[in-house]
Amino acid sequence: MEPATPRGRLRWTQRNSYAPTAWIDVPDAPEGCTLHLLYTLPPSTFFDPFTARPSLPVRDVHVLGPVNLENMPGWATEPRLASQIENAPPTWWESAPKSRAPCTGAECEHTALLLDLAQGGEVRVPLHVRYARATFTDTRVTTVPKGHAWLDRAADAWQRALAPWLATPTAPQALLADAPIALSVCAPHAPAGGDVMDTTALLPPSHAHWHTQLQALLGTSTVHAQRIALPHETSAAIPVGDAALAAPVLLTTIAAVWLATLWLIRCVWRAI
């Protein structure tokens, strides 16, 4: 059973950036019920528990899944990177055994957040967007006025030499996997707003492997769910690098490092 009519709302600040923030208006829970917010993350977005500081009405944040702060989407299918997660010891925020669950392959990139709330109101969820993988792009002009061969050559030279350095293409990166869900966990037969939910229906199929972990956090009480209404835009326009520029950028960086090193050696030598 899916949560019915959306209640509450979600808005963004700094949406088209690497550090967008979701502001979610969560309805109050009935008296005697605990209030939670479930936020599912796509592979392109992550939550950093090391720098995020919960603010009212958030009391605690549970991360369902491993935390990987550095790699680009697709890291979980690369054996070298995936083995680092499997062999890493539990970190300080994973003190409870129930907050660490096994995962393999691409499913490790589909994580979720369960926020414990003291009350309803506007909840701040700071997020981070992963760097997109560089791709080969062709930015050459394809249409020019007929009979102007010199203009064609000039435009082609411009596009090849300078345009890739000045204009960076962007690609949409999802900021959520599914609409956030406000959860009121109440004693059986207690009055509450929202639909009574089986916890297996709270997570989308891409995140279903975290159900056991979610169930352990929510307990065995009755769960009432209300889906949060989404804004029109749910993705961020993130710059995508041009892989064709990798070699020039690398050579320029190495040259700059060598020049800086030589300058430093010269300064030290003259000082002696």
pLDDT in tens, 56-87: 899 989 988 887 777 777 777 777 666 666 55
pLDDT in tens, 139-152: 444 444 555 566 66
- pTM exceeding 0.75: no
Mean pLDDT of the chain: 78
All residues at 6 or more sequence positions from 39 whose CB lies less than 8 Å from its CB, including other chains: 22, 24, 112, 113, 114, 115, 125, 176, 180
DSSP assignment, residue 2? -
pLDDT at 113: 93
Q: How many residues does the chain have?
A: 272
Give which of 139, 144, 143 is closest to 167, Cα–Cα. Answer: 139
pLDDT in tens, 85-127: 655 555 555 544 444 556 777 888 899 999 999 999 999 999 9
Report how far residue 82's alpha carbon sits from residue 59's, in angstroms, rounded to the nearest whole number.
31
pLDDT at 66: 81
Weakest-pLDDT range from 22-26, 155-159, 203-207, 235-239: 155-159
**Beta strands 21-26 and 121-126, pairing class:** antiparallel
Q: How many Cβ atoms from other residues are within 10 Å of residue 116's Cβ?
A: 17
